[in-house]
Structure 1
Amino acid sequence: MVEAYMRPAMKFLLQGIGSLLLVIAGLSFFWGGRALHEFLGVDRLLAELGGLTLAAVAGLLGMLAKGAGDTL
């Protein structure tokens, strides 16, 4: 249970983390596959799937963090 004096800070922190994760999700959706392909030398199709997976996971975690911040 979050104490009353900690609620505003936790809400601000969770919403900030959520926003950051959603930005990471957007960037990895558009450029994640190419970056994985260039820097790791992975096959292009596998790199694109990795970028999409990273975008989905970061987006889901971002939405969960924002939702948790809103309910505090």
Structure 2
Amino acid sequence: MLVLTLVMAAVGFALLVVALMTGSVAWAWGCIVVCVIGAVLLLVSSLRGPAPATSPRPSPRGGGPDHEDPPTERFDRPE
């Protein structure tokens, strides 16, 4: 969704340039509409939070997320 927001910002800037070059109010209103849509998309994207990962990365030790590391110290047991 961030890419779509960046595209909307680029289109809005292009419409602003065209509006300034031609002196047309219609192009300026188009710029405003596109920029408001981009702002709404950015707001929705930020409220949704980060996107979940598509696939979990494997652990370097080969275990899954429930894998526990072996203890690093050995304790003597009383007999």
TM-score normalized with structure 2 length: 0.50
* Alpha-carbon distance in structure 1 between the residues aligned to 2:7 and 2:40: 13
Tell me, what secondary structure is at the counterpart of 2:29? helix
In the alignment, which residue of structure 2 is the partner of 1:20? 14
Gaps of 5+ in 2: 42-79
Structure 1 stretches of 5 or more lacking a match?
1-6, 30-54
Distance 2:35 2:9 in 1: 5
Q: How many aligned positions are there?
A: 41
Match of 2:31 among 62, 67, 70: 62
Alignment of 1:28-47 (within 5 A): 28-29=22-23
Q: Which runs of 4+ in 1 moved over 4 A?
A: none
* Higher-helix-fraction structure: 1
CA RMSD of aligned residues (A): 0.6
**TM-score, with structure 1 as normaliser:** 0.54
Report the alpha carbon displacement of residue 28 of structure 1 after superposing the two structures with TM: 0.4
